[in-house]
Structure 1
Amino acid sequence: MFPDNVYDIEELSPEDRTLFAQKYRKYLHYIAQAAIWTTYIYFAVRLFFTLANPERTWKMWIMLGVEGLFAHMSLNHQCLSLAATAKPPHQTPRKRLRSDKNLPRVDVLVTCCGEPVEIILDTVRAACSLDYPASRFRVRLLDDGASSNLHDAIAKLATKWTHLSYHTRGKQSGQSFAKAGNLNYALFTLQTEDPPEFCTVVDADSILMPEFLRATLPHLLADSKAALLTTRQYFYNLPRGDPLSQSRAYFYTCKNAELNLLGHALDAGSGAVFRRDAIFDAGGYPTYSFSEDWQLSLILRGLGKRTMQVQEVLQFGLVPTSLAGHLKQRNRWHIGHSQQISVLFPSMNKAIPEHLRWDIAFGGLSIMAGLVSYSIGFVTLPFLLVSDGEFIPAASALEVKIQLVLAIVHVAFTWAYDGAQSAHAGLPFAPFAHAENSWLATAHLYAIVRFHLFGSKPRGSFVTGSTANSRENTTSISSFQRACRDTLQSGALLNICLFIATVGAMLFAVWVAISRDGPTIIPKLLTTIAWPPLLHLCLLVIVNNWIPISHLFNPPIYPSRDSKLLGTEKGISYPRAEVEREISSEKALLGVCCSSVVPIVLLGAFVGAMIS
Structure 2
Amino acid sequence: MAADQIYDIRELPEDPRIRSGRRYRNYLSYVAQSAIWIGNIYVTLRLLAILLSPQTWQVWVMFLVEAVFFDLSRKDQHLVIAASKVKENGPRKRLRVHGSKDLPHVDVLLPCCGEDVDVIMATVRAACALDYPASCFRVRVLDDGGSAALKEAVSALQSQWSHVSYHSRGKQSGMVFAKSGNLNYALTTLQRETPPEFCAILDADSVPCPDFLRATLPHLLQSPDAALVSTRQYFSNLPNGDPLSQTRSHFYTCQNAALDVLGLAIDAGSGAVFRRSAIVQVGLYPTFSFSEDWQLSQILHGNGWRTFQVQEPLQFGLVPDSLTGHCAQRNRWNIGHAQQIPAMLSSDYKHYKKSLRRSVIWDGFGIVAGEVECFFGFLAVPLLFLSGQLIPTTNPSLVKAQIFMSVCQVSVMWIYEYVQAALNNFQSAPFAHLENKWLAGPNILAILRFYLVSAKPKGSSFVTGSILNTWNQHALSACRRIYLDLWKNGVFYNLSLLLAIVWAVYYAATSLMENQEYTITSLLTSVAFPPLLHICYLTLSVNWVPVAYILKPPHYPNRSSHLPAENGKSAPHVEAKREATSESRWHAVDKVGKEILHLGTRLEIQERPEL
Aligned Cα RMSD in Å?
Answer: 1.7
Which residue of structure 1 aligns with residue 73 of structure 2? 74
Query: Is the Cα contact below 8 Å between 1:6 and 1:102 reproduced in 2?
Result: no
> 2: CA distance between counterparts of 1:210 and 1:316?
12
The 3-state SS of whatever aligns with 2:269 is: coil
1:276-287 → structure 2 map (5 Å cutoff)? 276-287=276-287
CA displacement 1:104-133 (0-9 Å, x = unmatched):
000000010000000000000000000000
Do structure 1's residue 151 and structure 2's residue 135 form an aligned pair?
Answer: no
Which residue of structure 2 aligns with residue 215 of structure 1? 215
> 1: CA distance between counterparts of 2:575 and 2:161?
29
TM-score (norm 2): 0.93
CA displacement 1:298-330 (0-9 Å, x = unmatched):
000011110000000100000000111000000
Do structure 1's residue 524 and structure 2's residue 539 form an aligned pair?
Answer: no
Which residue of structure 1 aligns with residue 114 of structure 2? 114
Query: Is the Cα contact below 8 Å between 1:343 and 1:357 reproduced in 2?
Result: no
The aligned amino acid for 2:491 is A
> 1: CA distance between counterparts of 2:584 and 2:383?
37
Range that drifts further, 85-94 or 534-543: 85-94
> 1: CA distance between counterparts of 2:2 and 2:294?
27
Task: Specify every segment of 5 or more residues in structure 1 that has no aligned partner in the other structure, as ranges.
Answer: 589-612
Query: Is the Cα contact below 8 Å between 2:173 and 2:461 reproduced in 1?
Result: yes
Which residue of structure 2 aligns with residue 542 of structure 1? 540
Which residue of structure 2 aligns with residue 405 of structure 1? 404
Which residue of structure 1 aligns with residue 591 of structure 2? none
> 1: CA distance between counterparts of 2:94 and 2:235?
21
The 3-state SS of whatever aligns with 1:273 is: strand
Do structure 1's residue 192 and structure 2's residue 192 form an aligned pair?
Answer: yes
Q: Give the CA deviation at 1:482.
A: 1.2
Which residue of structure 2 aligns with residue 100 of structure 1? 100
CA displacement 1:32-60 (0-9 Å, x = unmatched):
00001111110100110111013x32101
> 2: CA distance between counterparts of 1:526 and 1:545?
25
Which residue of structure 2 aligns with residue 561 of structure 1? 559
> 2: CA distance between counterparts of 1:253 and 1:141?
31
Which residue of structure 1 aligns with residue 579 of structure 2? 582
> 2: CA distance between counterparts of 1:175 and 1:531?
49
Which residue of structure 2 aligns with residue 573 of structure 1? 570
Query: Is the Cα contact below 8 Å between 2:83 and 2:89 reproduced in 1?
Result: no
CA displacement 1:369-390 (0-9 Å, x = unmatched):
1011001111111112123x21
Query: Is the Cα contact below 8 Å between 1:140 and 1:165 reproduced in 2?
Result: yes
Which residue of structure 2 aligns with residue 251 of structure 1? 251
1:169-318 → structure 2 map (5 Å cutoff)? 169-318=169-318
1:39-54 → structure 2 map (5 Å cutoff)? 39-54=39-54
Which residue of structure 2 aligns with residue 419 of structure 1? 418
Q: Give the CA deviation at 1:90.
A: 5.8
Distance verdict in 2 for CA 1:350–1:191, change over 3 Å = farther
Query: Is the Cα contact below 8 Å between 1:84 and 1:261 reproduced in 2?
Result: yes
> 2: CA distance between counterparts of 1:337 and 1:499?
29
Query: Is the Cα contact below 8 Å between 1:184 and 1:284 reproduced in 2?
Result: yes
Distance verdict in 2 for CA 1:157–1:34, change over 3 Å = same
The 3-state SS of whatever aligns with 2:571 is: strand
Do structure 1's residue 368 and structure 2's residue 355 form an aligned pair?
Answer: no
> 1: CA distance between counterparts of 2:126 and 2:575?
19
> 1: CA distance between counterparts of 2:101 and 2:198?
16
1:377-396 → structure 2 map (5 Å cutoff)? 377-387=377-387, 389-396=388-395
> 2: CA distance between counterparts of 1:276 and 1:533?
49
TM-score (norm 1): 0.93
Q: Give the CA deviation at 1:252.
A: 0.4
Query: Is the Cα contact below 8 Å between 1:89 and 1:262 reproduced in 2?
Result: no
Which residue of structure 2 aligns with residue 463 of structure 1? 463
CA displacement 1:194-218 (0-9 Å, x = unmatched):
0000000000000000000000001
> 2: CA distance between counterparts of 1:485 and 1:197?
47
Task: Specify every segment of 5 or more residues in structure 2 that has no aligned partner in the other structure, as ranges.
Answer: 587-611
Do structure 1's residue 502 and structure 2's residue 501 form an aligned pair?
Answer: yes
Distance verdict in 2 for CA 1:304–1:363, change over 3 Å = same
The aligned amino acid for 1:299 is I
Which residue of structure 1 aligns with residue 32 of structure 2? 32
The 3-state SS of whatever aligns with 1:400 is: helix
Distance verdict in 2 for CA 1:2–1:567, change over 3 Å = same
CA displacement 1:76-100 (0-9 Å, x = unmatched):
1111111111231366200001111
> 2: CA distance between counterparts of 1:90 and 1:67?
32
CA displacement 1:171-206 (0-9 Å, x = unmatched):
012332000000000001110110000000000000
Q: Give the CA deviation at 1:20.
A: 1.5
> 1: CA distance between counterparts of 2:476 and 2:117?
23
Query: Is the Cα contact below 8 Å between 1:116 and 1:468 reproduced in 2?
Result: no
The 3-state SS of whatever aligns with 1:356 is: helix
> 2: CA distance between counterparts of 1:202 and 1:174?
18
1:333-352 → structure 2 map (5 Å cutoff)? 333-350=333-350, 352=352
Do structure 1's residue 533 and structure 2's residue 526 form an aligned pair?
Answer: no
Q: Which runs of 4+ in 1 moved over 6 A?
A: none
